[in-house]
Amino acid sequence: MSIILDTPRLRLREFVPGDADALRELGGQEHVVRRLPKWRTTGEECATWIGWMRLHYKHPAKPPRVALAVTLGENGRLIGLVGVGPREDMEGQPEITGFIHEEYLRQGYGAEAADAFCAWVLGTLGLPWIMGLAEPSDHAAAALFRRCGFENQGPRQVPGPGGVQIRTCFRRYPGRG
């Protein structure tokens, strides 16, 4: 059974091997690399990651680790990624992550994808909540979390490159959004 989530403008689906080059291009965009430097990769590394993720589709881990391709419903173009996985440096708390192609920023695609994904994760995978973290100055991320039904939990100290960083923590619970 494949994972497919449709929204008014998007289709969220499992990654397939043919997505590697588009994912490499997407992950290498400056706004993505600034926040998630590990996404500056080669096409071969993306292909390996897709293969690894496809194993998680078939044999879900506990706690779950899943990422879906965010595609335009009208033409299937890959414009982003949304996922959840345990944040190892925060006692395995389930954290949402994702990014949208720069051409589609500030048009509501990120919130549309995140909202549908969170509803599916909380309704299907049995998590008690999902955490989202934002830099205190990242008002766009905070607005996205609020729009998707996340509650502000206040500032948290989070391990990061170069030491502890302060992040605003948000949580979404089942039935909200």
- Reported as a single tens digit per residue, the pLDDT across 91-129 is 888 999 999 999 999 999 999 999 999 999 999 988 999
Q: What is the spatial distance between Cα 58 and Cα 64, in angstroms, rounded to a whole number?
A: 12
Q: What is the spatial distance between Cα 154 and Cα 168, in angstroms, rounded to a whole number?
A: 5
Is residue 97, in this structure, part of any structural domain at all?
yes
Is residue 153, in this structure, part of any structural domain at all?
no
Q: What is the spatial distance between Cα 121 and Cα 105, in angstroms, rounded to a whole number?
A: 23
Q: How many domains does the chain fold into?
A: 1
- Find the range with the poorest average confidence among 54-63, 91-100, 101-110, 139-148: 54-63
Is residue 35, in this structure, part of any structural domain at all?
yes
Is residue 100, in this structure, part of any structural domain at all?
yes
pTM, full prediction: 0.91
Q: Which domain covers residue 124, as residue numbers?
A: 4-128
Is residue 157, in this structure, part of any structural domain at all?
no
Strand partners, 81: 69, 99
CATH number for the domain harbouring residue 66: 3.40.630.30
Is residue 8, in this structure, part of any structural domain at all?
yes
Query: In b/e form, how buried is each residue of 122-144, taking b as 16+ CB within 10 angstroms?
Result: beeeebebbbbbbeeeeeebbeb
Is residue 20, in this structure, part of any structural domain at all?
yes
Nearest to 127 by CA among 168, 68, 69, 87: 87
